[in-house]
Amino acid sequence: MELVRATEAAAIRAAPWIGRGDKNAADGAAVDAMRKFLHTVEFQGRVVIGEGEKDEAPMLFNGEVVGNGEGPECDIAVDPIDGTSLTAAGRQNALSVIAVADRGSMYDPKDLFYMDKIVTGPEGIGVIDLAKPIGENIRALAKAKGKAVEDMVIAVLDRPRHEKLIAEIREAGAGTRLMLDGDVAGGINAARSATRIDMCTGIGGTPEGIITACAIKALGGVMQGRMYPRNDEEREKAIAAGHDLDRVLTQDDLVRTDNTYFVATGVTDGGLCAGVRREGKRIVTDSVVLRSHSGTVRRVQAEHLEAKWL
């Protein structure tokens, strides 16, 4: 519940920038609010996966220490706004998210900013394989779920790099749910039974991948990822740092503990959480809290007196 206060604050501070066309201003407001509230949480947190390095936006930087200095030692992965472009454009599915795990348990990708990944619900355990063609994975998952292939819906970020992947999904007979941004929500929705998305796949941010892995461990789903260097220079640095770029990593490789927390608050409306809204003199937020140790999913709807946020 202490972590929820940080994502709520980030979402509330970002809300005035929804649809204003300035993603860095929205991100900066969310970062400042999240940092302030994280310092009130009773833990010794260290940011392992920081935010903003890819697009030179403001960040909670890697190695930053947060919390009040008491309580357990933890690794932190943050994304004050997963979907800065969505927020700036006033589109759906922007979230403020935090993932927390035991100290030393989160995979450190160092200079690798992108990851090729595949995420499904529990039906995909022992069924999907990132090393296999997407059509084969879709057919195997459809069989495991007892669905026709043509009823399968696959979430993919709408990027030029995914043109071939999208064509292969459609050639296999499945439908696509193209996401403009925000693949954390896409991965989580793929693992939940209450959504129409059966699988989320494609190349997305490594920070978002670590965050998603924390959530997937709580949902009982399956995630696989493989580091994706953007160029020869990044490839050489990764190999020199000891990364095996051919290795397929599971959620247990990305987060090596069964004690994880994932917290998200909606910035804009979406399939996972409703966005921030004003009702009279109150601000209403919608959040979700996942814990892997207990396997619980909690919804938190909160009303905040607007005068306290002026």
Query: Mean pLDDT of successive 10-residue segments in the chain (310 residues)?
Result: 95 97 94 93 91 55 90 94 94 95 89 91 97 98 98 97 98 96 90 94 92 95 95 89 91 96 96 95 97 94 92
Is 121 labeled as ligand-binding? Answer: no
Is 221 labeled as ligand-binding? Answer: no
CATH topology identical between 2-103+259-308 and 114-254: no
2-103+259-308: what CATH class?
Answer: alpha beta
The full set of domain ranges for the chain reads 2-103+259-308, 114-254
Is 27 labeled as ligand-binding? Answer: yes
Is 236 labeled as ligand-binding? Answer: no
Is 205 labeled as ligand-binding? Answer: yes
Is 116 labeled as ligand-binding? Answer: no
pLDDT for res 51: 60
What is the fold of 114-254? D-Maltodextrin-Binding Protein; domain 2 (3.40.190)
Dihedral over Cα of 154, 158, 163, 165: its sign: negative
* Per-residue three-class SS string for the chain: CHHHHHHHHHHHHHHHHCCCCCHHHHHHHHHHHHHHHHCCCCCEEEEEECCCCCCCCCCCCCCCEECCCCCCEEEEEEEEEECHHHHHHCCCCCEEEEEEEECCCECCCCCCCEEEEEEECHHHCCCCCCCCCHHHHHHHHHHHHCCCHHHCEEEEECCHHHHHHHHHHHHCCCEEEEECCCHHHHHHHHHCCCCCCCEEEEEEEHHHHHHHHHHHHHHCCEEEEEECCCCHHHHHHHHHCCCCCCCCEEHHHHECCCCEEEEEEECCCCCCCCCCEEECCEEEEEEEEEECCCCEEEEEEEEEEHHHHC
Entry pTM:
0.91
Is 72 labeled as ligand-binding? Answer: no
Is 198 labeled as ligand-binding? Answer: no
Is 83 labeled as ligand-binding? Answer: yes
**Among the listed residues 297, 289, 291, 222, the one whose alpha carbon sits nearest the alpha carbon of residue 258:** 291
Is 282 labeled as ligand-binding? Answer: no
Is 82 labeled as ligand-binding? Answer: yes
Is 246 labeled as ligand-binding? Answer: no
Is 181 labeled as ligand-binding? Answer: yes
pLDDT for res 54: 44
Backbone φ and ψ of 247, nearest 5°: -75, 135
